[in-house]
Structure 1
């Protein structure tokens, strides 16, 4: 008698079931009709008026606020935690239906927690902490008790990626998650990311692709791409991501929001899911994304107040340093203009010499330079050493294990149709899903890097000053055409601190193709040829401000000055234009 082996569901079936389960967690009254979904498919820009049509006036008012306004209004009893949480849960639910940006939904649990916070406030007449009642979204690497952490792998549906003990499934919590809850935050969803994390776009076999809600011809970036897309749709004002090659900075720049990439040892990465465990030469770092600069400051201050180093010895015992923030803050007036003798001196990196930025990025740099000079600050061109070496080192570290860690999360033995003698099937992992096409070339299995080569790479690198520079050589990129990550990768290699600010949006009438430019190499040519003013039109343009290691307070203060200076400069330009228009109408 032949015993038939019953195979488990295919990875495609498991993914489809997971997607359906996620949608079923959205309240019926928040579900969109098929007609609404069809309209969204045809819409280029889903932000602003489009998503607001599904919200009431009070909800629109709440999600328009930044994080500091929200916690202030809750503390002053102008809003309740339930009101705020309800508005953001509903907006996130709509955002996911029209732009596919969530992996996990736990709205009901969030609203229960918000009700508990309101009860505590009514009882004690004080808040639980500085984040009391504030909804915070999480990239799908952070463990929340009772919730999946798939990190985009089909094989970890119903589990927590990185948790090998079955008894601990859904019971483990990332340290920073615990800290946020102790500070009064409300956690309500986890956002999408690319398979393996190691991609500047957001695609996986679980939910497909997350596009840019401000221009759906473009990518939302990666790997914290779902976080960036959700915030662009105002489904969150503040969230956590991670960054080892640009993964909080790229989505911030591509979606027109703000981000902070701290030095890795500043915030706790303890019990956070990740790939390539043991790669500690330079670490992935927990980063912050927000719809406002104030949100970045709020979360960094709040989390450091918990003294995360007491539970995580990898964290440097360094509280938020108000004296540094004040020192740099006082170097400018509230409008960003220089404070006499202590004006800022900033470098600007126009190109890394490997890949020339597209016209919208160059125009964005010119805007910041002109605004800062107009405000009385000094800006100098900065020409660093060849960045190609840094990018090569960065990529070598990411591929040091020969892709073995990534591959072990993918094939089941029966996915190959037969069994091979000598294979250790206990080490083959959890589903039959393939690598997405974008990653198949990069992550072919090979021998891991030998130790001596690995050690040699750790000895290389350069030290640079703080600069204003591109995040990428393009605005939010056309999907599949992200060819060069050197502008962010080198900053990770050096463990520098960086803040991303939105500057402008691509404009097909201004950002025309420069036919005189001659690309210097094949990658430069591919990038330059990919620029299409019509497709890129309205794509967000963000830039990064980079400082040295552990200079988070400094770089946040400088970012605030730059944003204020840009606002002042824009106001002056507008006033001058209006005055000119008035003169045109005058009778000679």
Structure 2
């Protein structure tokens, strides 16, 4: 009598995936466990990397490419250095999902051999290791997006994401993928497959979500350049928590076709791809490289806009959002806003305090869109893997359970989309009216805002408020992040007794705030321009970064 094999439990599937990943880290790259809270310097001090490899991994991406093109470095050596540092980063923060170091080293060697013969660089990212968020399909490895049901289902070549292909055509060496929250719909990165990814500046804190694995890896310089995605803040929140530069473009600039989604078919708010790095120059390098590959020839949804050189006025006027009226930022973020304002004014620019158009309405639209199917898709994938709902998705479960007998209909979605278009029209008019206060005859050149109410939140304490980022997803505006400072308990003491919360979410966040607990966390802000102004946003971010540096 044949015995039917027992299906492994979700915990067994997860344990096997983690064990298989960890087995791909060579023993000589392993480090002893540490109880340290701040591990940002461990890669340099643990003894795994040689002095040359430390130097390589501390070098900005554009300089690495230049050195490889000049023959001063080999792609193999650069890739090996970053594979080792990525392995260390994973042991410290649990940032990686899929590891393909051996394949990367093989490709890097082939690039070196080809270049020795042709003397022609493979592309603008010639030989450069690049990491990818877990939702990009790469041949031969899983794309779990945190779902148990999607484990052990490696992508075939024909299913590779268009961005994966573009990266290769740019000359990049893909070497790992990074952790995300389940369905990429939580602002912290944890799931039932891989577990929780912590912040390397303070491992009591979150690395953010949904591109949190990228954030932690890049902060530890385990990659010189990474690619994340953003539908409500998923690039900017991790970049902010981990002290990175990043770019959230408008939809249509960087190819998105073929990436895996936790909400497939949800196109009312379009997910976008964008770069993340410790280096603004690396973010610019990636952006131009991708657009120069004419992504509209890969992805039918892309807009044929070549990369543009932009000229900005000598004297600029920025809008400044100090509070969105729903959740006031915690003290480190407010300090960063005021320091940035002072730095820009010292550099000769004007900064005007401003409030965006009805952020509570934008927040409502986001919630309505993300649960527009009644939570059906996520419920299906959770059930397929026979796994429990992660804490951050309990709202989707409640939505699904409450609507089982009365599921949403298409007409309801159309109503929300009409409301969104009306909101965007009013939001645009509100921005354009700023020309009355700028003194330049122009509306704001850009707006500077918190990325979140936190510098970086404690684990499992984000409390769902993403209105500072998601408003610009509704508007489809271009946005960047930039680091300003770090949490300092002496400067960032709470003033809870002097502040009365306006709602329950704000009360939770302020009651939980503790500068001592968040010590060392990066404090970052975002810069927003209007739709399809990626080049302008990056150039203005350079202006802001220069002013902050001059003021320090």
TM-score range, shorter chain: over 0.9
Task: Select which of 528, 537, 544 maps to 1:555.
Answer: 537
**RMSD of equivalent CA atoms:** 1.5
Counterpart in the other structure of 2:416: 457
Does structure 2 retain, via aligned residues, the 8 Å contact 1:120–1:127?
Answer: no
- SS where residue 84 of structure 1 aligns? helix
Between the aligned partners of 1:81 and 1:169, the Cα distance in structure 2 is 26
Counterpart in the other structure of 1:581: none
| 1:321-336 pair list within 5 angstroms | 321-322=308-309, 324=310, 327-328=311-312, 331=313
Are 1:219 and 2:206 matched, yes or no? yes
Between the aligned partners of 2:512 and 2:308, the Cα distance in structure 1 is 44
Between the aligned partners of 2:376 and 2:536, the Cα distance in structure 1 is 39
Moved more, 352-361 or 139-148: 139-148
Does structure 2 retain, via aligned residues, the 8 Å contact 1:51–1:94?
Answer: no
Are 1:298 and 2:279 matched, yes or no? no
**1:520, distance to aligned residue in structure 2 (A):** 1.3
Between the aligned partners of 2:127 and 2:20, the Cα distance in structure 1 is 27
Between the aligned partners of 1:316 and 1:287, the Cα distance in structure 2 is 15
- SS where residue 217 of structure 1 aligns? strand
Does structure 2 retain, via aligned residues, the 8 Å contact 1:368–1:566?
Answer: yes
CA shift digits 1:453-498 (9 cap, x unpaired): 3222222312235310000001111122212111011111111100
Task: Select which of 89, 106, 116 maps to 2:100.
Answer: 106
TM-score normalised per structure 2: 0.92
Are 1:207 and 2:194 matched, yes or no? yes
Counterpart in the other structure of 1:262: 249
Are 1:439 and 2:426 matched, yes or no? no
**1:452, distance to aligned residue in structure 2 (A):** 2.6
Counterpart in the other structure of 2:266: 279
Task: Select which of 478, 482, 487 maps to 1:506.
Answer: 487
Task: Select which of 84, 94, 116 maps to 2:78.
Answer: 84
Task: Select which of 363, 366, 380 maps to 1:391.
Answer: 363
CA shift digits 1:206-238 (9 cap, x unpaired): 121011110011100000000000011110111
- SS where residue 509 of structure 1 aligns? coil
Counterpart in the other structure of 1:64: 58
Task: Select which of 446, 449, 454 maps to 1:469.
Answer: 449
Between the aligned partners of 1:169 and 1:144, the Cα distance in structure 2 is 8
- SS where residue 120 of structure 2 aligns? coil
**1:450, distance to aligned residue in structure 2 (A):** 2.6
Structure 1 residues 448 and 315: CA distance shift in structure 2, 3 A: farther
Counterpart in the other structure of 2:160: 173
- SS where residue 482 of structure 2 aligns? strand
Are 1:186 and 2:163 matched, yes or no? no
Counterpart in the other structure of 2:18: 19
Does structure 1 retain, via aligned residues, the 8 Å contact 2:378–2:396?
Answer: no
- SS where residue 318 of structure 2 aligns? strand
**1:50, distance to aligned residue in structure 2 (A):** 5.6
- SS where residue 534 of structure 1 aligns? coil
Does structure 2 retain, via aligned residues, the 8 Å contact 1:361–1:473?
Answer: yes
TM-score normalised per structure 1: 0.87
Between the aligned partners of 2:30 and 2:148, the Cα distance in structure 1 is 25
| 1:306-385 pair list within 5 angstroms | 306-322=293-309, 324=310, 327-328=311-312, 331=313, 339=314, 343-385=315-357
Moved more, 147-156 or 393-402: 147-156
**1:516, distance to aligned residue in structure 2 (A):** 1.2
Between the aligned partners of 1:23 and 1:368, the Cα distance in structure 2 is 42
Does structure 1 retain, via aligned residues, the 8 Å contact 2:43–2:220?
Answer: no
Between the aligned partners of 1:242 and 1:277, the Cα distance in structure 2 is 14
Does structure 2 retain, via aligned residues, the 8 Å contact 1:85–1:111?
Answer: yes
- SS where residue 395 of structure 1 aligns? helix
Counterpart in the other structure of 1:119: 113
Counterpart in the other structure of 2:437: none
CA shift digits 1:123-151 (9 cap, x unpaired): 01221111001000000011111121111
Does structure 1 retain, via aligned residues, the 8 Å contact 2:183–2:263?
Answer: no
Which one has the largest radius of gyration?
Answer: 1
Task: Select which of 385, 398, 402 maps to 2:374.
Answer: 402
**1:51, distance to aligned residue in structure 2 (A):** 4.9
Gaps of 5+ in 1: 161-167, 332-338, 412-428, 571-588
Between the aligned partners of 1:563 and 1:374, the Cα distance in structure 2 is 13
Q: How many residues in Structure 1 have an aligned counterpart in Structure 2?
A: 523
Counterpart in the other structure of 1:30: 29
- SS where residue 240 of structure 1 aligns? strand
Between the aligned partners of 1:267 and 1:157, the Cα distance in structure 2 is 27
Gaps of 5+ in 2: 432-443
Counterpart in the other structure of 2:9: 10
